[in-house]
Structure 1
């Protein structure tokens, strides 16, 4: 195809996709049925992982729940069954360890079957300045928040490719789209998670595997205890988010094959501005919205005795 025809084709498709997006702002996208699908959720013992487990249970999905917290995992299983889950399977898995992921993944394939929807949700946060962050915690942050995604994709993506059917969900963060003080390792891990998920999405499209969908989730702070103590500067504009609300948005995005989900909606505007404004102007906005002092009151999830 020559340059002129290719350019015309791209312009026409750009206009079509823009119009399609505007229509979907008014008319809800159709939702796919996830009943009977095998949904694997990492970090399922608490927080967003538990909320997602319950919501997928109500939709009739077969649940595969991973975490290192056995007691929390048992409680999630109980709640999932109370909410209609017919099949729930839980496994103790340290997602930061590659071989552990591969071993448990093999167990899942034998005992449950091929995973259809993979939700990489497990995450940790250090909450210290870069200089004060111990090397071991920096490495752990990257292993859990980023490298675990590589190992779970390696384990479950081949079956999705073989059937051209599946959904890859990356629970990233708004901190994966801009830098925040005292979150250098966390931001780095979430930036990497976003880039990795986008790259795999493009790779699947280039292979013609259009039946494999990707949803990247970038929420602001969620009230799960992970960021306990953090106070947002303008709560009416950027509120600390309710886990139930976020989980409902994520499940809806998955069912509608939405590629990118930013919560709350104002983040779409802020990150669009970040991409076009001069650096000093973008930094000014970050300061205005509290990125410089967001973590000053950070305590984190209380450690059990």
Structure 2
């Protein structure tokens, strides 16, 4: 087997340089066909059922309003149930014919099953599941004296999405529905001082890309990688982590609009603000340069302002 690997090490790199240009034109043609189809076909969300976690604020709240404008029926979930009352009222005023709201902790497997079951009991169907709930705790790794304080990031951001998804899959298969995953640009372009948040979002991307392959065409999956969006989570991170303030923030309203539009088109990925996409080729082709620039922008030495802060939205 090692001999085969050695042969592949020699043969595949130059072979890929030949194959990549050959498949480029057919791939571009395929993408144009898909783009044309998406211009013609857009999923009509009128009276379809959308479950959104972390719906009390930020992107989740704006997603509720955007789906409401399209006439969808909504199941809104958040650990802060009292904050969902105003969101539900606004969603109804914007055009949603039926809205329920459920207080639940997405990191708890039983509570995740409960909010999916309550949604099905009320609406008898589920068409879109939006895994949006997330938290972050900024800080330098070397300053961490108790690693367990970061456990909630993985529990909410990763397991919170997995729990709800596993319970929703049978219902989404019946409706040939869609899963929308709010990951982050930090999942593929990690920023310093948000290491566990970056890791949770990278895990989300990898998990749902794998799930997309396993599910095939039975359920669509749209993976969202926002940059810094003006939300409660981002504002607290800015307040407590001054080294991140050089990053411009996008609009939660615009981000939600892009997400719903892309989901209804059946897109595999969406990034907002769109300028963030230009970072990807730099990360792939010039990783040393990216590391060097980040070290000089954010500073290699510990920043006292980066040692505190717990930003949360669920």
TM bin, normalised by shorter chain, reads: 0.7 to 0.9
Which residue in the other structure is 1:171 paired with? 182
Which residue in the other structure is 1:29 paired with? 39
Distance 1:10 1:217 in 2: 27
- Whose helix proportion is higher, 1 or 2? 2
Aligned match of 1:155 in 167, 182, 185? 167
Which residue in the other structure is 2:222 paired with? 215
Distance 1:202 1:294 in 2: 42
Structure 1: 5+ residue runs without aligned partners? 1-6
State the Cα distance separating 1:232 from its structure 2 match: 8.0
Give secondary structure in 2 for the equivalent of 1:194. helix
State the Cα distance separating 1:107 from its structure 2 match: 2.2
Instruction: Between 214-223 and 28-37, report the one with greater CA deviation.
Output: 28-37
Distance 1:88 1:64 in 2: 6
Distance 1:247 1:295 in 2: 34
Structure 2: 5+ residue runs without aligned partners? 1-15
Instruction: Between 70-79 and 10-19, report the one with greater CA deviation.
Output: 10-19
- In structure 2, relative to structure 1, the CA distance for the partners of 1:20 and 1:302 (3 Å cut) is closer
- In structure 2, relative to structure 1, the CA distance for the partners of 1:43 and 1:155 (3 Å cut) is same
Task: Give a deviation string over 1:146-198, Cα, whole Å, max 9, x none.
Answer: 001111111111222345x0111000111111222111110110000111111
- In structure 2, relative to structure 1, the CA distance for the partners of 1:29 and 1:288 (3 Å cut) is farther
Q: Higher relative contact order by CA 8 Å / sep ≥ 6: 1 or 2? A: 2
Aligned match of 2:158 in 146, 149, 152? 146
Q: Which is higher, the Rg of structure 1 or of structure 2?
A: 2
Which residue in the other structure is 1:101 paired with? 112
Task: Give a deviation string over 1:201-260, Cα, whole Å, max 9, x none.
Answer: 11122xxxx25211111111111121222668796xx62111111111111111111111
Task: Give a deviation string over 1:121-159, Cα, whole Å, max 9, x none.
Answer: 000010122242743431110010000111111111122
Which residue in the other structure is 1:283 paired with? 291
**Are the equivalent residues in 1 in contact too, given 2:88–2:99 (CA < 8 A)?**
yes
Q: In angstroms, what is the RMSD of aligned CA positions?
A: 3.2
TM-score normalised over the length of structure 2: 0.81
Query: Is 1:44 equivalent to 2:51 in the alignment?
Result: no
- In structure 2, relative to structure 1, the CA distance for the partners of 1:28 and 1:291 (3 Å cut) is farther
